[in-house]
Amino acid sequence: MAARLFGLTTRTLQHWAKRGMVDKRKGSRATPANKLSEDEQRKIINVLESPEFAKLNPNQIVQRLADQGVLSHTLNLQSAIFCRIKTVRFPLSGLC
């Protein structure tokens, strides 16, 4: 039987047959407390697109921004910057 082959119970297959195999999960409704505002995201993108940072790798960018005091209020921006770099430099990758 197909259920055994895939490690599923008969009940699971019956449930899927009755209700369909559409994923009806809604995901999280909560907004992360550290989510960047549109303005903050725009500022990061403007910095990343500037000639000073255009040819640097993510680690170099974060280090330089930290040295300049831009990241002094929180180092959580580091992951946001990495994400924005991926979005700006590889827009079709779907990495973030």
Computed from CA positions of residues 59, 52, 93, 87, in that sequence, does the dihedral angle turn out positive or negative? positive
Whether 76 has a pLDDT exceeding 60, the answer reads no
Per the domain annotation, does 24 fall within a domain? Answer: no
Per the domain annotation, does 11 fall within a domain? Answer: no
Per the domain annotation, does 47 fall within a domain? Answer: yes
- Domain coverage including residue 48: 38-89
Per the domain annotation, does 42 fall within a domain? Answer: yes
Average pLDDT over residues 28-57: 80
Q: Which of 18-22, 57-61, 90-94 has the lowest mean pLDDT?
A: 90-94
Whether 8 has a pLDDT exceeding 60, the answer reads yes
Q: How many C-beta atoms surround the C-beta of residue 60 within 10 A?
A: 11
Per the domain annotation, does 58 fall within a domain? Answer: yes
* Count of the separate structural domains present in the chain: 1
